Protein backbone atom coordinates (compact mmCIF):
# COMPACT_ATOMS: atom_id res chain seq x y z
CA UNK A 1 0.00 0.00 0.00
CA UNK A 2 1.28 3.48 -0.82
CA UNK A 3 1.20 5.95 2.03
CA UNK A 4 0.60 9.63 1.51
CA UNK A 5 3.65 11.63 2.52
CA UNK A 6 3.98 15.39 2.77
CA UNK A 7 7.23 17.16 1.97
CA UNK A 8 7.81 20.77 2.96
CA UNK A 9 9.84 22.70 0.41
CA UNK A 10 12.00 24.52 2.95
CA UNK A 11 14.17 27.58 2.45
CA UNK A 12 15.35 30.64 4.34
CA UNK A 13 16.30 34.21 3.42
CA UNK A 14 19.15 36.03 5.15
CA UNK A 15 17.16 39.30 5.14
CA UNK A 16 13.53 40.23 4.63
CA UNK A 17 13.75 44.05 4.54
CA UNK A 18 16.11 46.04 2.30
CA UNK A 19 16.79 49.77 2.05
CA UNK A 20 18.21 51.25 -1.16
CA UNK A 21 18.96 54.85 -2.17
CA UNK A 22 17.88 56.39 -5.48
CA UNK A 23 21.48 56.62 -6.71
CA UNK A 24 23.19 54.85 -9.64
CA UNK A 25 24.09 51.21 -8.97
CA UNK A 26 22.11 51.03 -5.73
CA UNK A 27 21.90 47.34 -4.92
CA UNK A 28 21.81 44.73 -2.20
CA UNK A 29 21.76 40.94 -2.08
CA UNK A 30 19.40 38.38 -0.61
CA UNK A 31 20.90 34.95 0.08
CA UNK A 32 18.46 32.05 -0.16
CA UNK A 33 19.42 28.80 1.59
CA UNK A 34 18.06 25.36 0.81
CA UNK A 35 18.41 23.07 3.87
CA UNK A 36 16.48 20.22 2.25
CA UNK A 37 17.75 17.00 0.74
CA UNK A 38 16.11 17.86 -2.58
CA UNK A 39 16.83 20.62 -5.09
CA UNK A 40 14.88 23.84 -4.62
CA UNK A 41 13.30 25.22 -7.81
CA UNK A 42 12.81 28.91 -7.20
CA UNK A 43 11.36 31.82 -9.14
CA UNK A 44 10.90 35.48 -8.23
CA UNK A 45 8.04 37.91 -8.71
CA UNK A 46 8.16 41.71 -8.30
CA UNK A 47 5.30 43.83 -6.99
CA UNK A 48 5.02 47.61 -6.64
CA UNK A 49 3.15 48.89 -3.59
CA UNK A 50 1.10 52.01 -4.29
CA UNK A 51 -0.14 54.18 -1.40
CA UNK A 52 1.42 51.92 1.26
CA UNK A 53 -0.19 51.98 4.69
CA UNK A 54 -3.30 53.78 3.47
CA UNK A 55 -6.87 52.69 2.78
CA UNK A 56 -6.30 52.74 -0.98
CA UNK A 57 -3.10 50.67 -0.84
CA UNK A 58 -2.58 48.54 -3.96
CA UNK A 59 -0.06 45.78 -4.60
CA UNK A 60 0.60 45.73 -8.34
CA UNK A 61 2.48 42.89 -10.08
CA UNK A 62 5.21 44.14 -12.41
CA UNK A 63 5.19 42.05 -15.58
CA UNK A 64 6.03 44.50 -18.37
CA UNK A 65 9.81 45.05 -18.75
CA UNK A 66 9.29 48.75 -19.49
CA UNK A 67 7.84 49.15 -15.98
CA UNK A 68 10.84 47.58 -14.25
CA UNK A 69 12.37 50.02 -11.76
CA UNK A 70 13.62 47.23 -9.51
CA UNK A 71 15.63 44.41 -11.05
CA UNK A 72 16.25 40.94 -9.61
CA UNK A 73 19.03 38.69 -10.87
CA UNK A 74 18.66 35.84 -11.40
CA UNK A 75 14.90 35.75 -11.79
CA UNK A 76 14.84 32.01 -11.22
CA UNK A 77 17.29 29.38 -10.03
CA UNK A 78 17.78 25.78 -8.98
CA UNK A 79 19.44 25.57 -5.56
CA UNK A 80 21.06 22.18 -4.84
CA UNK A 81 20.46 20.45 -1.50
CA UNK A 82 22.31 22.11 1.37
CA UNK A 83 23.39 25.04 -0.81
CA UNK A 84 22.82 28.77 -1.11
CA UNK A 85 22.09 31.18 -3.94
CA UNK A 86 22.66 34.92 -3.99
CA UNK A 87 19.97 37.08 -5.62
CA UNK A 88 20.93 40.66 -6.46
CA UNK A 89 18.32 43.41 -6.21
CA UNK A 90 19.15 46.64 -8.03
CA UNK A 91 17.11 49.83 -8.27
CA UNK A 92 17.00 52.08 -11.32
CA UNK A 93 14.80 54.67 -9.58
CA UNK A 94 16.20 58.22 -9.74
CA UNK A 95 15.39 61.58 -8.12
CA UNK A 96 12.46 60.36 -6.08
CA UNK A 97 10.29 62.88 -4.27
CA UNK A 98 9.02 60.09 -2.00
CA UNK A 99 10.25 56.58 -1.32
CA UNK A 100 9.15 53.77 -3.61
CA UNK A 101 8.02 50.51 -2.03
CA UNK A 102 8.34 47.05 -3.57
CA UNK A 103 7.75 43.45 -2.56
CA UNK A 104 9.73 40.60 -4.10
CA UNK A 105 8.35 37.09 -3.72
CA UNK A 106 10.73 34.13 -3.65
CA UNK A 107 8.44 31.30 -4.66
CA UNK A 108 9.30 27.58 -4.80
CA UNK A 109 7.88 25.74 -7.78
CA UNK A 110 7.17 22.03 -7.97
CA UNK A 111 10.04 19.67 -8.61
CA UNK A 112 10.19 15.90 -8.35
CA UNK A 113 9.57 14.20 -5.00
CA UNK A 114 12.13 11.44 -4.63
CA UNK A 115 9.98 8.88 -2.84
CA UNK A 116 7.93 5.84 -3.80
CA UNK A 117 5.06 7.04 -1.67
CA UNK A 118 2.30 9.27 -2.89
CA UNK A 119 3.79 12.72 -2.53
CA UNK A 120 2.26 15.96 -1.37
CA UNK A 121 4.74 18.82 -1.51
CA UNK A 122 3.92 21.93 0.51
CA UNK A 123 5.35 25.07 -1.06
CA UNK A 124 5.98 28.06 1.20
CA UNK A 125 6.90 31.37 -0.44
CA UNK A 126 8.75 34.22 1.24
CA UNK A 127 8.38 37.90 0.46
CA UNK A 128 11.02 40.58 0.93
CA UNK A 129 10.10 44.23 1.48
CA UNK A 130 12.24 46.78 -0.40
CA UNK A 131 12.36 50.53 0.14
CA UNK A 132 14.02 52.79 -2.45
CA UNK A 133 14.50 56.14 -0.75
CA UNK A 134 15.47 59.69 -1.76
CA UNK A 135 19.04 60.53 -0.80
CA UNK A 136 17.86 63.39 1.40
CA UNK A 137 14.78 61.54 2.61
CA UNK A 138 13.47 62.00 6.14
CA UNK A 139 10.41 61.11 8.16
CA UNK A 140 8.46 63.80 10.01
CA UNK A 141 6.19 62.76 12.87
CA UNK A 142 3.29 64.96 13.94
CA UNK A 143 0.77 64.36 16.73
CA UNK A 144 -2.71 65.87 16.51
CA UNK A 145 -5.96 65.30 18.39
CA UNK A 146 -9.14 64.52 16.47
CA UNK A 147 -12.18 64.09 18.68
CA UNK A 148 -11.32 61.69 21.49
CA UNK A 149 -8.41 60.15 19.60
CA UNK A 150 -4.92 61.19 18.66
CA UNK A 151 -3.29 60.59 15.31
CA UNK A 152 0.43 60.05 14.91
CA UNK A 153 1.10 61.05 11.32
CA UNK A 154 4.20 60.83 9.13
CA UNK A 155 4.35 63.90 6.89
CA UNK A 156 7.87 63.11 5.64
CA UNK A 157 8.92 61.28 2.48
CA UNK A 158 10.25 58.00 3.91
CA UNK A 159 8.70 55.48 6.27
CA UNK A 160 9.52 55.22 9.96
CA UNK A 161 9.24 52.19 12.23
CA UNK A 162 7.93 52.85 15.73
CA UNK A 163 9.59 50.40 18.12
CA UNK A 164 8.62 51.77 21.53
CA UNK A 165 6.01 54.28 22.60
CA UNK A 166 5.37 55.87 26.00
CA UNK A 167 3.21 58.65 27.40
CA UNK A 168 5.12 60.67 29.98
CA UNK A 169 3.90 63.25 32.47
CA UNK A 170 7.49 63.71 33.66
CA UNK A 171 10.84 62.05 32.96
CA UNK A 172 10.23 59.41 35.62
CA UNK A 173 6.46 59.10 35.13
CA UNK A 174 5.96 57.21 31.88
CA UNK A 175 3.53 54.50 30.87
CA UNK A 176 3.73 52.22 27.88
CA UNK A 177 1.34 52.76 24.96
CA UNK A 178 0.49 49.55 23.05
CA UNK A 179 1.44 50.66 19.57
CA UNK A 180 4.28 49.75 17.24
CA UNK A 181 4.87 49.23 13.56
CA UNK A 182 5.64 51.15 10.41
CA UNK A 183 4.15 54.51 9.43
CA UNK A 184 4.48 55.30 5.73
CA UNK A 185 4.60 58.81 4.24
CA UNK A 186 1.14 60.36 4.40
CA UNK A 187 -0.16 57.60 6.67
CA UNK A 188 -0.96 57.64 10.38
CA UNK A 189 -1.70 55.48 13.39
CA UNK A 190 -4.53 56.17 15.81
CA UNK A 191 -3.77 56.43 19.54
CA UNK A 192 -5.74 56.61 22.75
CA UNK A 193 -3.77 58.57 25.33
CA UNK A 194 -4.41 59.27 29.02
CA UNK A 195 -5.99 62.58 29.99
CA UNK A 196 -3.75 65.46 30.94
CA UNK A 197 -0.64 67.18 29.77
CA UNK A 198 2.60 65.44 28.98
CA UNK A 199 4.57 64.25 26.01
CA UNK A 200 4.87 61.21 23.79
CA UNK A 201 8.28 59.53 23.90
CA UNK A 202 9.05 57.04 21.17
CA UNK A 203 11.89 55.11 19.59
CA UNK A 204 11.91 55.59 15.81
CA UNK A 205 13.94 53.71 13.19
CA UNK A 206 14.39 55.07 9.66
CA UNK A 207 16.28 52.16 8.11
CA UNK A 208 19.70 53.51 9.06
CA UNK A 209 19.56 54.47 12.71
CA UNK A 210 17.28 54.68 15.72
CA UNK A 211 16.48 57.91 17.51
CA UNK A 212 14.30 59.07 20.37
CA UNK A 213 11.50 61.47 19.52
CA UNK A 214 9.41 63.55 21.92
CA UNK A 215 6.10 65.09 20.88
CA UNK A 216 4.07 67.36 23.19
CA UNK A 217 0.57 66.26 24.16
Residues 113 and 163 in one domain: no
Residues 93 and 48 in one domain: yes
Burial of 145 (0-12, 13-18, 19+ CB in 10 A): exposed
Any alpha helices (H) in 65-176, and if so which ranges? none
Kindly report the CATH number assigned to the domain that includes residue 151.
2.60.40.10
Query: Cα dihedral sign for 186, 192, 195, 197?
Result: negative
Using the 3D structure, point to which of 133, 155, 179 is the last residue of a domain: 133
Question: Is 2 inside a domain boundary?
Answer: no
- pLDDT at residue 148 in the model: 86
For the chain, the residue count is 217
Question: Is 18 inside a domain boundary?
Answer: yes
Question: Is 7 inside a domain boundary?
Answer: no
Question: Is 147 inside a domain boundary?
Answer: yes
The number of domains in the chain is: 2
Rounded to whole angstroms, how far apart are CA atoms 158 and 97? 10
Residues 92 and 122 in one domain: yes
Question: Is 124 inside a domain boundary?
Answer: yes
pLDDT by residue for the chain (217 residues), tens digit each?
333 344 455 799 999 999 999 999 899 999 999 999 999 999 999 999 999 999 999 999 999 888 899 999 999 999 999 999 999 999 999 999 999 999 999 999 976 544 454 555 677 899 999 999 999 999 999 999 988 899 999 999 999 999 999 999 999 999 999 998 999 999 999 999 999 999 999 999 999 999 999 999 9
Question: Is 203 inside a domain boundary?
Answer: yes
- The number of helices, as runs of H, and strands, as runs of E, in the chain is 0, 20
- pLDDT at residue 110 in the model: 77
* Nearest 10 degrees: Cα torsion 108, 91, 161, 30: 40
CB-based contact 175:194 (threshold 8 Å)? yes
140: left (phi over 0), alpha (psi -120 to 50) or beta: beta
In this prediction the pTM is: 0.87
Residues 20 and 123 in one domain: yes
Residues 107 and 207 in one domain: no
Residues 151 and 88 in one domain: no
Residues 49 and 103 in one domain: yes
- pLDDT at residue 30 in the model: 98
Closest by CA to 154, choosing from 137, 166, 168, 167, is: 137
Residues 28 and 119 in one domain: yes
Secondary structure, 3-state, 16-42: CEEEEECCCCCEEEEEEECCCCCCEEE
Residue 156 belongs to domain spanning: 141-216
Rounded to whole angstroms, how far apart are CA atoms 47 and 61? 4
Residues 102 and 148 in one domain: no
- pLDDT at residue 51 in the model: 96
- pLDDT at residue 2 in the model: 38
Residues 25 and 129 in one domain: yes
Relative to beta strand 100-109, strand 40-50 is: antiparallel
Question: Is 46 inside a domain boundary?
Answer: yes
Residues 207 and 184 in one domain: yes
Amino acid sequence: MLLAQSALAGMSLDKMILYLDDVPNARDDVVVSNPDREPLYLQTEIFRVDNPGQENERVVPITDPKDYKLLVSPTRAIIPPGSQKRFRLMSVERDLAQEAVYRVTFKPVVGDITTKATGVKILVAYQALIFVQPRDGAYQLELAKEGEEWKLRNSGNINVEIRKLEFCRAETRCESIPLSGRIYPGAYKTLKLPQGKGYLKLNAYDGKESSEERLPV
